[in-house]
C-alpha cells in the first residue's frame, strides 16, 4: 500500500450531517416564501430566505465529495457515470412527477392567499404562474429536457424557465449532473501544469461568457459555466485536505475567525463561503478545540444526523410538493394568515422528513444498488487501472 492510500480518508461523516442542515435551510426558506414572507425584514429572515447560499454549499460539497471518490475508487468513466446517474435519477424522476402534479395546486394557493399585498408577493405569484403555464403548454419539451437532466443548461431564449419547470429545486440536480460529466477530466488535467492552466482559462472564459449573456439568459444560475468557482473550491479543499490537516499550528477557532473576517471584508455575497470555510476549518482541526470541536462532532456525526443526512437529497427534492399539498389541504378548511401558513409549512417539513428517510431506503438505495450492478457489468477499460493514479498526486 502506498503512502498516498494510507493518508487518503475514504469517507467524511461530518459532510453527511452538514447536508441535512442545508436541506432544512432550503425547505424553511421555501416555506417562508409560500407564506408571503418573500422580502426579508430582519437578518434572520434574510439568511433563511437566502436558500441559494445553501445550494452553493451543496455545490462545494459535490466538488469535495466527487474529488474524494475519484481519489479513492479505481473505476472507468462509464462505470463512474453509471453509478452517479443512478444515484441521482430515481428520486429525481419521482419528485419531478410529484412537482408536475402539484403545479396547479401551487398556483391555487398563490391566487387565493389573503396576503396579496405582501411585499414581493406579486413577483412571486407571476413566477409561479409562468411555471404552471410552461408545464401545461410546453409539457413535452420540458419533459424531454428533464428526462436528460440537461434542463439547467437551456437558456430562456430557447425555452422559457427550462431549469425550474415541474420541480424548481431540480435546477441544481441538472447542475450536479453537468459537473459529474466533466469532473474526472478536470481532475485528470490537474496532473499537468499546462492542462491546469488550460482548464482554468476555459472555465474563466465560460464564466465571463455567462455573465455577459453570450451563453443566453437564465432565471437562475443553473449552468455549469457560472457555478465553476463553487465546484472548484470543493475540489481544491479535498486535494489540499491532507497537507492542511498536517499543519499542526492551526486552531479551528482562529481559522474560522480569519475566514469570517476575509469573507465579510472582501466579498459581496460571502455567506456560502463563510459556511464552508468555518465547517472545513473544523473538519480539519476539530480535535484541537476541546469544547467547540466536541460540539462540532456531536452536531454533524450523531446517529440522527447520519440518518437524516443520508436522506437529505430526498428531502431537498420532496419538501416542496409536500408543502404545497399540506398548504392546499389546510386552506380548504380554515382561513390562514401568513404566520399560520408558515406553521403549516413547518409541519410539512416535519412530515417530509420521514418521507425522505423512506425514499432513501426504498428508492435511493435500490437505485444505487441497480447502478452498482449495471456498472459492474461494464468493461473495466484502461482507466480502471489508472483512475486513482490520475488523481492521487498528493501525499
pLDDT at residue 390, rounded to an integer: 43
Contact 156, 217 (CB under 8 A): yes
Contact 328, 348 (CB under 8 A): no
User: By percentage, how much of the chain surpasses pLDDT 90?
Assistant: 88
DSSP, residue by residue, 2-70 = -HHHHH-----HHHHHHHHHHHHHHHHHHHHHHTT--S-SSHHHHHHH-HHHHHHHHHHHHHHHHHHHH
Residues 276-333 pLDDT 10s: 999 999 999 999 998 999 999 999 999 999 999 999 999 999 999 999 999 999 999 9
- Say whether pLDDT at 36 is over 50: yes
Mean pLDDT of 131-151: 96
Contact 105, 328 (CB under 8 A): yes
Mean pLDDT of 73-92: 95
pLDDT band, very low/low/confident/very high, at 196 (cuts 50, 70, 90): very high
b/e per residue, 316-332, with b = 16+ CB within 10 A? bbbbbbbbbbbbbebbe
DSSP 168: G
Structural Rg of the chain based on CA atoms:
22
User: By percentage, how much of the chain surpasses pLDDT 70?
Assistant: 94
- Say whether pLDDT at 386 is over 70: no
Amino acid at each position: 500500500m502506498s503512502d498516498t492510500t494510507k493518508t487518503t480518508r475514504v469517507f467524511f461523516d461530518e459532510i453527511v450531517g452538514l447536508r441535512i442542515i442545508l436541506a432544512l435551510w432550503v425547505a424553511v426558506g421555501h416555506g417562508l416564501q409560500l407564506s408571503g414572507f418573500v422580502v426579508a425584514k430582519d437578518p434572520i429572515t434574510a439568511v433563511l430566505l437566502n436558500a441559494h447560499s445553501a445550494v452553493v454549499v451543496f455545490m462545494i460539497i459535490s466538488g469535495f465529495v466527487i474529488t474524494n471518490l475519484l481519489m479513492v475508487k479505481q473505476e472507468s468513466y462509464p462505470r463512474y457515470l453509471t453509478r452517479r446517474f443512478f444515484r441521482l435519477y430515481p428520486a429525481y424522476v419521482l419528485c419531478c412527477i410529484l412537482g408536475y402534479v402539484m403545479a396547479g395546486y401551487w398556483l391555487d394557493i398563490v391566487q387565493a392567499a389573503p396576503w396579496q399585498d405582501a411585499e414581493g408577493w406579486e413577483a412571486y405569484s407571476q413566477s409561479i404562474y409562468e411555471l404552471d403555464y410552461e408545464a401545461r403548454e410546453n409539457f413535452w419539451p420540458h419533459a424531454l429536457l428533464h428526462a436528460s437532466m440537461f434542463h439547467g443548461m437551456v437558456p430562456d431564449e430557447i425555452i422559457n424557465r427550462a431549469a425550474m419547470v415541474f420541480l424548481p429545486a431540480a435546477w441544481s440536480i441538472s447542475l450536479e449532473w453537468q459537473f459529474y460529466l466533466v469532473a474526472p477530466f478536470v481532475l485528470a488535467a490537474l496532473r499537468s501544469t499546462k492542462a491546469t492552466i488550460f482548464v482554468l482559462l476555459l472555465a474563466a472564459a465560460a464564466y465571463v461568457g455567462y455573465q455577459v449573456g453570450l451563453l443566453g439568459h437564465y432565471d437562475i444560475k443553473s449552468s455549469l459555466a457560472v457555478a465553476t468557482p463553487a465546484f472548484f473550491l470543493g475540489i481544491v479543499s479535498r486535494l489540499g485536505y491532507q497537507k492542511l490537516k498536517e499543519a499542526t499550528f492551526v486552531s479551528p477557532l482562529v481559522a474560522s475567525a480569519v475566514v469570517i473576517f476575509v469573507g465579510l471584508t472582501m466579498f459581496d455575497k460571502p455567506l456560502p463561503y463563510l459556511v464552508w470555510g468555518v465547517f472545513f476549518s473544523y473538519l480539519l482541526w476539530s480535535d484541537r478545540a476541546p469544547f467547540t470541536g466536541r460540539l462540532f462532532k456531536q452536531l454533524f456525526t450523531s446517529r440522527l444526523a447520519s440518518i437524516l443526512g443520508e436522506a437529505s437529497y430526498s428531502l431537498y427534492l420532496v419538501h416542496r410538493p409536500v408543502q404545497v399539498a399540506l398548504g392546499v389541504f389546510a386552506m380548504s378548511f380554515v382561513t390562514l394568515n401568513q404566520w399560520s401558513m408558515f406553521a403549516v409549512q413547518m409541519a410539512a417539513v416535519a412530515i417530509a422528513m420521514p418521507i425522505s428517510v423512506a425514499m432513501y431506503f426504498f428508492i435511493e438505495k435500490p437505485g444505487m444498488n441497480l447502478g452498482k450492478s449495471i456498472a459492474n457489468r461494464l468493461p473495466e477499460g484502461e482507466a480502471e487501472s489508472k483512475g486513482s493514479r490520475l488523481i492521487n498526486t498528493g501525499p
